[in-house]
Amino acid sequence: MRYPSAVCVPATSLISIAACALKRAMPIAAVLLLLGAFAPVYGQQFKPVPHTSVLRPSSVPATSVAHRQFPVRTPVHTNSTPVNTGFGVRYFCASNVATSTCNYLISTVTGYYNDTFTNANADIYVQYGTTGLGSSEYYFNFVTYSQYKNAYDGIANMSAIQQSADTELTNYDGAPYGSDYVWIQPALAGALGIAGDLSGGAGTGIAPDGSACTLNTPLCFNAIVTVTNDPGTTLYYDDQGGTEPADAYDFYAVVSHETDEVLGTSSCVSTQNTPLSDACDGATGDTGGPSVVDLFRYSAPGTLVLNSSLSTADGAYFSYDGGNTAGAMGSGGQAKYYNAQDNGDDYADFVASSPDCGTNQAIQDATGCPGEDAGQNILNDGGAEVNILTAIGYGIPAADTAAALTSPASDSTLSGSQVTFSWSTGSGATGYILRLGTTAGGNDIRGTGLITGTSVTFSPLPTNGETIHARLYTVFASSTTYADYVFTAANQAPAALTSPAANSTLAGSNVTFSWSAGTAAVSYTLHLGTTVGGYDIRGTTTTSTSVTYAPLPTNGETIYARLYTNYASGRAYTDYVLTAANEAQAALISPAPNSTLPSSNVTFTWSAGTGAVSYTLHLGTTVGGYDIRGTTTTSTSVNYAPLPTNGETIYVRLFTNYASGRAYTDYVVTAHTILLK
């Protein structure tokens, strides 16, 4: 769709657009629109002037609007669930517009705006007439840049787009435009609370006969929208059904295009001249003064395309984050570029080309797509119009928003086996669920129930470098949504027991346990217990890769070993099962335990110990002592003499010595007593 601008801005006198066109010797039809009256604003003086944006079909030369007044007919508004808190966008139809068409405008097309924006209020007069494909006529209205910026700063409950746009206005527009006037549509001035700064306290509107009038007075509209009645142009009407003919254009898409411009998508830049010019300059006396949408035009990140330094180079685009990303996207995620040529097409409209044609993403493009725009509206146009109108200041209702994982970063490698996952607060959320799995949506690794907090710590997590899928559910009062994330487990190979071998029988009661070094380990802990994970037999933490435990059981029982690899941010473990050595100890046979020795010369005998390599027998005056006698032998007996004969208590300790350690049993006997006569 091409929308050539037929703007002429006389500087000093009341002069018609037609006369201005004749002075330029341009082959365009006369448009009898007189300049508005001289009007003060905060003591500032300017002349509101008419502006015309024309949409035209492909391969059709630029034309201006031949104005003709028709009686106004206003059907009943039937939009059912608007979010708009004001009167909204309202269409008033000329008598040459069919009742069914007017009813569809009011019942359906208004809904695209009134169900999207909370404060987009405009009265629009719709008629058929002589134009390219469609046009909108309205008068310039101005405020200072500071008035606009201050009003913008006061937006309550800014959306994410508006927060970004507000920062952009501060960082990039204040210096070049701070002393300028800014062309603002009265509808936007009203949305921002500065309509009182416009002429008449509401702004200059347009009457059906094209004359200037004060808005909010009878038969005064924000704009006149004219759709072509050229018999050579075929129009398609969505409400009539059927397939759009290959040479037809959707009537309601044309009206939507022009409505966007009435609300704020129109530029001050005129493409009627070579070089490009600023149509607002004649009204304000500024050089390079912008419209509101001009404040968001970039050629590169951080580089505004200023009205005072225009060129016909392609590539200018709309952005609400300082040019870092395009805020108006077309098919396939491609940025929509402004028309920048002196070709009569509206500058703020986008370059019309494939692939947007045929994808219902060409409403605001500069050239129409015959046969391909059935059902187009601002809600299926890739977000371009909604993003632009939101960025310049129109509000959208607060909606339920899903939580987003903030830490760890998606697609990152986890720091270890213990990780805290955090997420943003979901607007309207009643709770959250986080699941980690080996497949998307799975929770075979870890998972929570419904929680109200915005973080959870999971431990232990895999540390083998595998892919971990995370799904964060945001639960609302009547619905649930989720977002998926992917992580890589920490590549922290845990230590592995190398000796003794898992499932083996220990060599004795004195055993050295060894293991491989764990990747990124800071220490190790080895627990031995009679139950899985227990440490009632032995346990210690060390930075070494080995530890010796003694004495250990030698009764053949099952011993459970748990080897922890300790990392800076958590720990991982591996369990092993071992069997205690089956080493039955030697047992004293003679003399009998607790007996009295028969004399001072005694032979001690004992049973053979299983796996024993030798024996040690200590006799002492204290438990474990050997101050009376002591020796080591491979035999199962030993003779001690002389022994005490004073009847004292003698403590006996019999060691069974194994290849890897020793075990002992304590006994008590009484020394022989010699009676004196």
Residue 53, in any domain of the structure: yes
Ranges 281-295, 339-353, 590-604, most confident: 590-604
Indicate the pLDDT class of residue 80, thresholds 50, 70 and 90. very low
Indicate the pLDDT class of residue 22, thresholds 50, 70 and 90. very low
Residue 676, in any domain of the structure: no
CA–CA distance from 22 to each of 8, 15, 29, 31, 521 (Å)? 11, 12, 9, 11, 85
pLDDT-above-90 percentage for the chain: 57
Is 60 exceeded by the pLDDT of residue 32? Answer: no
| Domain region containing 287 | 17-392
Q: What's the confidence (pLDDT) of residue 587?
A: 95
Q: What's the confidence (pLDDT) of residue 371?
A: 86
Residue 332, in any domain of the structure: yes
Question: What is the arithmetic mean of pLDDT over 628-640?
Answer: 96
Q: What's the confidence (pLDDT) of residue 198?
A: 85
Residue 149 sits in the same domain as residue 201: yes
pLDDT-above-70 percentage for the chain: 87
Residue 560, in any domain of the structure: yes
Is 60 exceeded by the pLDDT of residue 222? Answer: yes
Q: What's the confidence (pLDDT) of residue 329?
A: 83
Q: What's the confidence (pLDDT) of residue 131?
A: 87
Q: Which amino acid is at 54?
A: V
Indicate the pLDDT class of residue 76, thresholds 50, 70 and 90. very low
Indicate the pLDDT class of residue 320, thresholds 50, 70 and 90. very high
Residue 187 sits in the same domain as residue 310: yes
Residue 65, in any domain of the structure: yes
Residue 304 sits in the same domain as residue 225: yes
Q: Round to whole Å and give the CA distance between 384 and 255.
A: 16
Which of 579, 597, 632 is the endpoint of a domain? Answer: 579
Q: What's the confidence (pLDDT) of residue 26?
A: 20
Indicate the pLDDT class of residue 152, thresholds 50, 70 and 90. very high
Q: Tell me the backbone φ, ψ of residue 112, rounded to 5 degrees.
A: -60, -35
Residue 467 sits in the same domain as residue 575: no
Q: What's the confidence (pLDDT) of residue 87?
A: 93
Q: Is 141 helix (H, G, I), strand (E, B) or coil?
A: coil
Is 50 exceeded by the pLDDT of residue 16? Answer: no
Question: What is the arithmetic mean of pLDDT over 577-600?
Answer: 93
DSSP 213-263: EETTSTT-BSEEEEEE--TTSEEE-GGG-SPPPTTEEEHHHHHHHHHHIII
Residue 85 sits in the same domain as residue 117: yes
Residue 88 sits in the same domain as residue 176: yes
Q: What's the confidence (pLDDT) of residue 57?
A: 59
Ramachandran area for residue 255 (φ above 0: left; ψ -120 to 50: alpha; else beta):
alpha
Residue 602 sits in the same domain as residue 657: yes
Residue 210 sits in the same domain as residue 171: yes
Question: What is the arithmetic mean of pLDDT over 508-526?
Answer: 91
Question: What is the arithmetic mean of pLDDT over 537-560?
Answer: 93
- Environment class of residue 157 by beta-carbon count within 10 Å: exposed (0-12), middle (13-18) or buried (19+)? exposed
Residue 331 sits in the same domain as residue 295: yes
Is 80 exceeded by the pLDDT of residue 24? Answer: no
Indicate the pLDDT class of residue 52, thresholds 50, 70 and 90. low
CATH code at 409? 2.60.40.10
Q: Looking at 30-34, 351-355, 534-538, which range is the least confident one?
A: 30-34
Residue 524 sits in the same domain as residue 473: no
Residue 400, in any domain of the structure: no
- Each residue's pLDDT tens digit, 445-501: 999 999 999 999 998 898 888 999 999 999 987 778 899 999 999 887 889 999 999
Rounded to the nearest integer, the mean pLDDT of the chain is: 84
Which of 324, 359, 392 is the endpoint of a domain? Answer: 392
Question: What is the arithmetic mean of pLDDT over 72-96?
Answer: 72
Q: What's the confidence (pLDDT) of residue 54?
A: 60
Q: Tell me the backbone φ, ψ of residue 391, rounded to 5 degrees.
A: -65, -40
Q: Round to whole Å and give the CA distance between 240 and 257.
A: 20
Instruction: Specify the number of domains making up the chain.
Output: 4
Q: Are the C-beta atoms of 468 and 443 separated by less than 8 Å?
A: no
DSSP 302-335: TEE--GGG----S--EE-SSTTSS-SSB-GGGPB
Which of 364, 392, 420 is the endpoint of a domain? Answer: 392
Is 90 exceeded by the pLDDT of residue 323? Answer: yes
Is 80 exceeded by the pLDDT of residue 83? Answer: yes
Residue 565 sits in the same domain as residue 513: yes
Question: What is the arithmetic mean of pLDDT over 506-518?
Answer: 91
Residue 112, in any domain of the structure: yes
Question: What is the arithmetic mean of pLDDT over 607-617?
Answer: 91
Question: What is the arithmetic mean of pLDDT over 402-419?
Answer: 91
DSSP 598-611: SSS-EEEEEPPPTT
- Each residue's pLDDT tens digit, 103-115: 999 999 999 999 9
Is 60 exceeded by the pLDDT of residue 30? Answer: no
Place of tokens 């008033």: 92
Residue 565 sits in the same domain as residue 596: no
Residue 542, in any domain of the structure: yes
